Amino acid sequence: MTTWLPTLKTKTPEEGYDLAVKMARVAVKLTQPDAEVRDRLRPKYAEDSAALIASSQVVATHFATVAAANGYWADA
């Protein structure tokens, strides 16, 4: 897990968004390292509106950081 986040810089806003998604997921992995358990939880929460929205909130928070780190992709 030493190289999953080498930089906050991305070429485009989309890539920044994808990075934010990744950053949201890593915290879950660190708290629940057992992939089998996560696989078991996934179908349930993927059908749970509250969980989906809460996940989207985490992505939004990370995206704010990534966007700032990229100067909001001023040239895009």
Write out the residues near a second copy by the rule CB under 8 A.
1-9, 12-14, 17, 21, 23-28, 30-32, 37, 41, 44-65, 67-69, 72-73, 76
Q: What whole-number distance in Å separates Cα of residue 24 and Cα of residue 20?
A: 6
Q: Shortest Cβ distance from residue 22 to a second copy (Å)?
A: 10
Q: Shortest Cβ distance from residue 67 to a second copy (Å)?
A: 5
Check if the beta carbon of residue 65 is closer than 8 Å to that of residue 8: yes
Q: Shortest Cβ distance from residue 51 to a second copy (Å)?
A: 5
